[in-house]
């Protein structure tokens, strides 16, 4: 139970920092969207619905690249990163999936000096 409690405490700390930075508590999709924008390196006034989905996909690939599940293949002519899956993600329950995602998000923010 200690590891789960530590994860939750670290998650709440990250949420507090994000609230301080953006003025409201973001949900998981918003956090993925922000990571996607960071990884893309382009800020636009407006993204299409498809681009928002692509940004969240970039975020997930970037997050799981930290654990060797994906690797960056390169960027296309528009500067959008493309990834290659190296191994399958484990089959987990919904709660386990959320916790693994939170852990990877926390690692991402730790390694990007947030």
Task: Tell me the pLDDT tens digit for each residue of 38-78.
Answer: 999 988 889 999 999 999 999 999 999 999 999 999 999 99
**What does pLDDT average to over the chain?**
93
Q: What tokens were used for 96? A: 């386990």
Q: What is the pLDDT of residue 103?
A: 96
Q: What is the pLDDT of residue 72?
A: 96
Q: What is the pLDDT of residue 2?
A: 55
Residue ranges of alpha helices (H) inside the chain are 2-22, 28-40, 49-65, 94-111
Percentage, residues of the chain above pLDDT 70? 96
Residue located via tokens 């296309």: 76
Q: Compute the half-sphere exposure of residue 35: CA atoms within 13 Å on the CB side of its CA.
A: 28
Q: What is the pLDDT of residue 113?
A: 80
Among the residue ranges 1-10, 15-24, 54-63, 85-94, the one predicted with the least confidence is 1-10
Distance CA 107, CA 66 (A): 8
Residue 2 near residue 94, CB atoms below 8 Å:
no
Q: What is the pLDDT of residue 1?
A: 46
Q: Which of 21, 28, 11, 12 is nearest to 107 (CA)?
A: 11
Average pLDDT over residues 68-93: 95
Q: What is the pLDDT of residue 43?
A: 84
Q: What is the pLDDT of residue 3?
A: 62
């Amino acid at each position: 139970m200690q590891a789960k409690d530590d994860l939750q405490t670290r998650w709440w700390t990250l949420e507090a920092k994000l609230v301080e930075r953006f003025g409201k508590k973001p949900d998981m999709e918003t956090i993925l969207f922000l990571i996607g924008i960071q990884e893309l390196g382009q800020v636009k006034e407006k993204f299409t619905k498809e681009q928002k989905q692509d940004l969240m996909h970039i975020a997930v690939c970037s997050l799981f690249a930290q654990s060797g599940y994906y690797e960056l293949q390169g960027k296309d002519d528009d500067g959008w990163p493309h990834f290659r899956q190296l191994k399958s993600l484990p089959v987990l329950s919904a709660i386990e999936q959320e916790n693994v995602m939170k852990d990877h998000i926390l690692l991402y923010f730790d390694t990007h000096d947030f």
